[in-house]
Amino acid sequence: MTFVPPALLSLFALTFYGIWGACRISMPDRRCDFLLIYGAAFLAFSMAMFSQVGHLPPDAGYNAMVSGTLYIGACLLLVKGILARSDKRFPASFYAISFFSILIPLFYFQYIDTNLVARIYLLNFGMGAIFLVLAGRAHFLRHGTITDRILFWLVVALALHFFLRTLLTIGSVSAIEGFPRAALLSSFIKTSFWGWSEISVAILGAVVGLGLLTVTGADIIKGLRGERDTDALTGVLNRRGLDSQISRLLAKNSQSAASVVICDLDYFKNINDTYGHAAGDAVLVDFAEILKKNVRSSDLVGRMGGEEFVMVLAGMTVQNAYVFAERIRKTIQNRHFERVASDQIVTCSFGITKFRKNEDLWTAVNRADKILYAAKKAGRNRTFAEGIAA
Residues 164 and 71 in one domain: yes
Verify that 274 and 342 share a domain, yes or no. yes
In which residue ranges of the chain is pLDDT below 50? none
What is the per-residue burial (b if ≥16 Cβ within 10 Å, else e) of 360-381? ebeebbebbbebbeebbeeeeb
Residue 390 in any domain: the answer is no
Model pTM? 0.71
Do 292 and 301 meet the contact criterion of CB atoms below 8 Å apart? yes
Q: What is the pLDDT of residue 329?
A: 94
Whether 332 and 373 share a structural domain = yes
92 shares its domain with 124: yes
Per-residue pLDDT at 278: 92
Same domain for 215 and 85: yes
Hey, how many other C-beta atoms are within 10 angstroms of the C-beta on 233? 13
- pLDDT at site 186: 62
Residue 368 lies in a domain: yes
Q: What is the pLDDT of residues 147-173, one digit of tens each?
A: 889 899 999 999 998 998 888 888 776
Instruction: Report if residue 234 sits inside a domain.
Output: no
Q: Which of 229, 259, 283 is the last residue of a domain?
A: 229
Q: At what angle do helices 277-294 and 268-275 cross, to 10 degrees?
A: 140
pLDDT for 107 equals 93
Same domain membership, residue 163 and residue 86: yes
Same domain flag for 253 and 218: no
189 and 153 both lie in a single domain? yes
Q: 256: domain CATH number? A: 3.30.70.270
Residue 54 placed within a domain: yes
CA distance readout (Å), 371 to 116, 117, 222, 385? 80, 79, 36, 7
- Residue that finishes a domain, picked among 229, 250, 267: 229
Question: Can you tell me the distance from the alpha carbon of 130 to that of 94, in angstroms, rounded to the nearest whole number?
Answer: 10
252/353 Cα distance (integer angstroms): 20
- If asked whether residues 225 and 164 sit together in one domain, one would say yes
pLDDT at 358: 80
Burial class for 265, CB neighbours closer than 10 Å (0-12, 13-18, 19+): buried
* C-alpha distances out from residue 93 to 26, 76, 97, 188, Å: 36, 12, 6, 34
Structural element, H or E, at residue 259: strand 258-265
35 inside domain: yes
pLDDT tens-digit series, residues 171-217: 776 656 655 555 555 666 667 777 777 777 778 788 888 888 888 88
Is residue 71 assigned to a domain? yes
143 plus 274 within the same structural domain: no
**Are both 225 and 244 inside the same structural domain?**
no
Residue ending a domain, among 172, 195, 229, is 229
Instruction: In the chain, count H helices and then E strands.
Output: 15, 5
In a domain, 197, yes or no: yes
Is 367 a member of any domain?
yes
Amino acid, res. 208: V
Count of domains observed in the chain: 2
Please tell me the predicted confidence (pLDDT) of residue 189.
62
Give the model's pLDDT for residue 305. Answer: 83
Instruction: Give the pLDDT of residue 214.
Output: 87
Q: Are residues 348 and 369 in the same domain?
A: yes
CB atoms within 10 A of CB 136: 12
Full domain range(s) for residue 83 = 4-229
pLDDT at position 246 is 85
